[in-house]
Amino acid sequence: MKNIFVLGGTGFVGRHVLQKLVRQGYNVTVATRRAINAREVQTLPTVTVAELDVHNPAQLQLALAGHDAVVNLVAILHGSDAAFQKVHVDLPVSLARCAAAAGVGRVVHISALGADPGAPESAPSRYLRSKSRGELALRHSALSVSVLRPSVIFGAEDKFLNMFASLQQVFPFMPLAGAAARFQPVWVEDVAAAVVCLLQRRASAGSSEVWEACGPKVYTLGELVHGAGVWAGIAEGRGRPVIPLPQWAGRLQAALMELAPGEPLMSRDNLDSMKTDNIASGTEAGLADLGIHPAALEPIAMDYLQRSRPGYGLPGLRRRV
């Protein structure tokens, strides 16, 4: 297996996956609607950028021809029912049909902890219901499918810890909805390594397997938000106080955030997703079963969160002298 087709390869996780695939000697094709979006990865050796609309079955099938496997990393966190349906359900359905028609029998699909293809409509949020239906669609295909369900993913370019650290540079305290929700953050490099391992595993046609990608420690959202400030060195390393909001106030806060232009920091659907703990179930295989020892969050987060601050390193020292 040498030729890999990647959907969502220009995103946060995708860039790390591409780098690992290139190091392993794979030939990689990255799908993107506009070639300019792939400028950060198109200089990687053995990477080819294919400009196409992945939601167009004719274009997708044509582009898939000649590949041995496909990795689907496309996902959204916010949107309407129609948007979640299009990205998390319709695309996997189309991908399965196009891959089969193009002779590509192997798929690695990135889903999410909390997805349950056995009972999709029982999931508490539109996000998780759509992720569940997407997994179910792939299970019903004739392809060899490996599903990876990560917890929240952290890394130097993440929009999670970086966002909360940035907010604490501005605000004296952090009012927080869903503060008690539990997560098991996993490093982006470990997720990327898992994708490569799954591609290298032997699997028979029509088989389907699920793997969970979680870090070694469980945190509440409140602990992560406060930790982001501590690890970034905010308030001399104390971070800002986190003020948990009652449910009604949290939903009001999220509703107001949804009205702001651009992608919201948090939506009511995010709060609904947090009704299910984002931690390992204990019933599925995990990173250790792939030979991956998941990295601890604190030292990595401390490194990249402090690097982004003006006072970090030699330039910061010069300003303080």
Question: For 295-304, what is the mean pLDDT?
Answer: 97
- pLDDT given at position 277: 94
Q: Check: CB of residue 149 under 8 Å from CB of residue 284.
A: yes
The amino acid present at 264, given as its one-letter code, is: P
Mean pLDDT of 187-191: 98
Mean pLDDT of the 120-147 span = 94
Residue 269: is its pLDDT beyond 90? Answer: yes
The answer on pLDDT for 317 being more than 80 is no
Name residue, tokens 């952090």: 174
What token pair was written down for 50?
A: 């294919």
Q: Give per-residue pLDDT as tens, 193-245.
A: 999 999 998 776 667 899 999 999 999 999 999 999 999 999 999 999 999 99
Largest CA-CA distance found in the chain, in angstroms, rounded: 65
CA distance 12 to 201: 24
Q: Which residue has the tokens 């994708």?
A: 195
Element (H, E) at 66: none
Per-residue pLDDT at 56? 97
Fold of 3-153+186-213: Rossmann fold (3.40.50)
At 278, list the tokens. Answer: 């984002």
Question: What pLDDT, on the 0 to 100 scale, is given for residue 265?
Answer: 87
45 or 314: which leads in pLDDT: 45
CB atoms within 10 A of CB 122: 10
Q: Which residues contact 178 (CB under 8 A, 6 or more apart)?
A: 221, 250, 266, 270, 271, 274
Q: How confident is the model at residue 321 (pLDDT cuts 50, 70, 90)?
A: very low
Tens of pLDDT, residue by residue over 48-72, are 999 999 999 999 999 999 999 999 9
CA dihedral 315, 317, 320, 321 (to 10 degrees): -110
320 pLDDT higher than 80? no
Hey, which bits of 224-298 come out as E strands? Answer: 242-244, 285-286
Give yes or no for a contact between 116 and 122, defined as CB atoms under 8 angstroms apart.
yes
